[in-house]
Amino acid sequence: MIRILVAEHVPLVRRGLVASLEAELDLVVVADVGSGEDVVPAALTLRPDAAVIDLELPGDGLAVTERLHEKAPACRALILAAQPNPGIVRRAFAAHALGFLSLDVAPEQLAEGLRQVAAGRRAVEPDLAIAALESASNPLTRRELEVLRIAARGARSAEIAAALFLSVGTVRNHFSRIMCKTGARNRLDAVRIASNSGWL
């Protein structure tokens, strides 16, 4: 039997995942949790072979996946995402996930994905894998990303400058370079491009 941990913050979705996985003869759900902070303790106690982790899990699904890999590496992670994009797929694999599927896959696809992950193999939808391979790597510096993250919250240049202890002119220079590197038309477009690419 393949032992599964389900980490999903929406109770109805979590129950649905548990029910569909329990219907498989070779899978058994040994734990289901609704918060990121419960994942590693459950994995250490119950020793599942694989974990299904919601990308939007409180505590950040990707950060939880990384902690799980550090603390309980025998439990392989498969990320589920409602709105996957190539950048997120790349970040998930960088966080040591072995699988990545969208929430709208058929139950049998999820079950097969977990079998693959538990065996130490990758499980990702072909279209997502191709898009992730084709997507550009992040051209932005750490400081440019900091500027863009604060801008994504609606902050103006003066607020960004104050938050990062920079002059307004320096912030404007960062935005010029960001727009040049991303091909964005304006700040909002730069935030959209960076978000869709999984850089933020």
DSSP conformation letters of 37-102: GGHHHHHHHH--SEEEEETT-TT-HHHHHHHHHHH-TTSEEEEEESS--HHHHHHHHHTT-SEEEE
pLDDT-derived band at 55 (thresholds 50, 70, 90) equals: very high
- Structure token digits, residue 108: 């049998």
Give backbone dihedrals phi and psi of 93, rounded to 5 degrees, phi first: -70, -35
Which range has the top average pLDDT, 30-44, 139-153, 175-189?
30-44
| Range in 57-61, 116-120, 159-163, 196-200 with the lowest mean pLDDT | 196-200
Q: Could you tell me whether strands 50-54 and 76-81 are parallel, antiparallel, or unpaired per DSSP bridges?
A: parallel
Q: Is the pLDDT of residue 150 over 90?
A: yes
What is the structure's pLDDT at 157?
A: 94
Position 103, amino acid: L
Q: pLDDT over 70 for what percent of the chain?
A: 94
Contact between residue 109 and residue 171 where contact means Cβ atoms under 8 Å apart: no
pLDDT-derived band at 121 (thresholds 50, 70, 90) equals: very high
What is the structure's pLDDT at 140?
A: 87
Q: Could you tell me whether strands 76-81 and 99-102 are parallel, antiparallel, or unpaired per DSSP bridges?
A: parallel
What is the structure's pLDDT at 124?
A: 86
pTM score: 0.69
Q: Is the pLDDT of residue 127 over 80?
A: no
What is the structure's pLDDT at 133?
A: 56
Q: Is the pLDDT of residue 129 over 70?
A: no
> Which candidate, 120, 100, 88, places its Cα nearest to that of 2?
120
What is the structure's pLDDT at 19?
A: 96
For 165-176, write each residue's pLDDT tens digit.
999 999 999 999
Q: Is the pLDDT of residue 128 over 70?
A: no
- For residue 113, give the 3-state DSSP assignment: helix
pLDDT-derived band at 132 (thresholds 50, 70, 90) equals: low
CA distance 44 to 82: 27
What is the structure's pLDDT at 21?
A: 96
For 15-31, write each residue's pLDDT tens digit.
999 999 999 999 999 99
